[in-house]
């Protein structure tokens, strides 16, 4: 739907108040490398994709908030002074969480109407929920003329998910949805929350996302379990080493190996993944900056092996997609996002693109009975008004 049609729909859904209004977009993301490192104060390298959530917003003269999800065709209404988790309309909690966090900053909000629609496939690990939080934060702060910088907004959106929605995610998804830049991946330091732009505009290669169509069933409980195991590793190393260790970011691979026999097997494997993955992210930055796509591709495959064997967050279907990419001699492939389903990210030579898409669809279907969805995306811009 174009912008005018969306405003027409907005007008049909809500009364026209003749108050401040605006239109906003926030993208989903694919993580190129650096998985399960963000909550370990480590490094990640995601890019925003050319799929997004679009939101129209307008102030109201009272203290009500009304949300309309165009895709679900559902309209809900709440009171700004009484926001509570909605068991029935689960999607509305992402928006309420953001409002709650803005109010916690001490901002006095007035009522507003929000309408949104999106084309980021849900539950596929491309961060549709982070995009929804970020676009909501952008809409509300803009309408109320609240000044908040990009990193602060990403952190606020993350808190909305942690506190209101109840998912203990790290900062990566909200960060890239807010701060992504066209033709670039971002190397984010999740300890300092600084980023560096990593150019990704290669005439010969294309990022291709393969959706396994496996819904990420176990993801929340397993995610929290991995976080606990990482904390266990940190406590273990901190007690034994003479340097300050507050996160796995502070640990060297040598140290992990030194204590291999004393660590619980799972804890050892989790630490090994996180520590080695941080090294791979930094090596990937150099590979991309020097246009060494072969090296970057190798690092992607290595990341997948580590996630599958040591961090144990892959699944049969994701492994099949990565194996098929290897069989097709694709430069690089790995699972992306939290795991247990969702998508793989592939680094594909443009000359091989059509053949890759056709072959992987056919062979994946043969092996699993599932029709994979394939998306080709360049790095897009982060959230913005339009
Ligand atoms: C999810 C979380 C992120 C990150 C990834 C794994 O997408 O939201 O914060 O932890 O999993 O890398």
Q: What is the pLDDT of residues 206-253, one digit of tens each?
A: 999 999 999 876 678 899 999 999 999 999 999 999 999 999 999 999
Residues paired with 46 in a beta bridge: 31
Other Cβ atoms less than 10 A from the Cβ of 298: the count is 17
Q: Where are the alpha helices (DSSP H) in 168-247?
A: 172-179, 219-240
What pLDDT score does 1 carry? 87
Residues paired with 332 in a beta bridge: 347
Distance 176 CA to ligand 1 centre (A): 12
Angle at 166 between CA 165 and CA 170, to 5 degrees: 100
How far apart CA 163 and CA 159 sit, in angstroms, is 6
Residue 105 token pair = 């900053």
Q: Give the pTM.
A: 0.97
Classify burial at 347, counting beta carbons within 10 Å of its beta carbon; exposed 0-12, middle 13-18, buried 19 or more: buried
Average pLDDT for 160-185: 96
Q: Is 337 in the pocket of ligand 1 (CB under 6 A)?
A: yes
Output Rg (C-alpha) for the chain, integer angstroms. Answer: 21
Please pick, among 41, 173, 250, 310, the residue that the annotation labels catalytic: 173
Average pLDDT for 25-52: 98
What pLDDT score does 240 carry? 96
Over the stretch 41-83, which tens digit does the pLDDT of each residue have?
Answer: 999 999 999 999 999 999 999 999 999 999 999 999 999 999 9
Distance 171 CA to ligand 1 centre (A): 8
How far apart CA 384 and CA 56 sit, in angstroms, is 12
Query: How many residues can be counted in the chain?
Result: 386
Q: Is 35 in the pocket of ligand 1 (CB under 6 A)?
A: yes
How far apart CA 100 and CA 177 sit, in angstroms, is 20
What pLDDT score does 16 carry? 82
Q: Is 161 in the pocket of ligand 1 (CB under 6 A)?
A: no
Average pLDDT for 190-195: 98
Q: Is 317 in the pocket of ligand 1 (CB under 6 A)?
A: no
| Residue with token string 């990009």 | 150
Average pLDDT for 166-172: 94
Distance 190 CA to ligand 1 centre (A): 12
Which residues, other chains included, contact 139 with Cβ-Cβ below 8 Å and sequence gap of 6+?
Answer: 22, 24, 55, 57, 112, 114
Is the pLDDT reported for residue 132 higher than 80? Answer: yes
Angle at 260 between CA 258 and CA 261, to 5 degrees: 110
């Amino acid at each position: 739907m174009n912008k005018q049609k969306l405003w027409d729909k907005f007008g049909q859904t809500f009364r026209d108040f003749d108050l401040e209004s605006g239109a906003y977009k926030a993208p989903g993301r694919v993580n190129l490398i650096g998985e399960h490192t963000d909550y370990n104060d480590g490094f990640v390298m995601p890019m925003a994709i050319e799929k997004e959530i679009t939101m129209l917003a307008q102030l109201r003269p009272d203290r009500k908030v009304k949300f309309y999800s165009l895709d679900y065709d559902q309209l809900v209404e709440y009171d700004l002074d009484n926001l509570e988790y909605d068991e029935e309309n689960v999607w509305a909690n992402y928006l309420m969480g953001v409002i709650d966090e803005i109010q916690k900053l001490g901002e006095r909000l007035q009522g507003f109407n929000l309408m949104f629609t999106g084309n980021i496939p849900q539950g596929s690990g491309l961060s549709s929920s982070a995009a929804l939080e970020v676009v909501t934060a952008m809409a509300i702060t803009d309408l109320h003329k609240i000044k908040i910088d990009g990193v602060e907004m990403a952190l606020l959106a993350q808190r909305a998910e942690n506190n209101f929605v109840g998912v203990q995610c790290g900062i990566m998804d909200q960060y890239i949805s807010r701060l992504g830049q066209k033709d670039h991946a971002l190397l984010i330091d999740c300890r300092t929350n600084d980023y560096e732009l990593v150019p990704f505009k290669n005439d010969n290669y294309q990022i291709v996302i393969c959706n396994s169509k496996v819904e990420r069933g176990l993801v929340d409980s397993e995610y929290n379990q991995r976080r606990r195991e990482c904390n266990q590793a940190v406590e273990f190393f901190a007690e034994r080493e003479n340097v300050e260790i507050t996160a796995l970011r502070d640990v060297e691979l040598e140290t992990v190996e030194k204590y291999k026999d004393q660590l619980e097997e799972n804890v050892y494997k989790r630490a090994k993944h996180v520590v080695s993955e941080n090294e791979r992210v930094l090596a990937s930055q150099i590979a991309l900056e020097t246009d060494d796509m072969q090296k970057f591709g190798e690092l992607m495959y290595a990341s997948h092996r580590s996630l599958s064997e040591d961090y144990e967050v892959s699944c049969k279907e994701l492994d099949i997609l990565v194996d098929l990419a290897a069989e097709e001699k694709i430069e690089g492939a790995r699972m992306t996002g939290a795991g247990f389903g969702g998508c793989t990210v592939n680094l594909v030579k443009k000359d091989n693109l059509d053949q890759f898409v056709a072959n992987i669809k056919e062979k994946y279907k043969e092996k699993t009975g599932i029709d994979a969805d394939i998306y080709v995306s360049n790095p897009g811009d982060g959230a913005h008004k339009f």
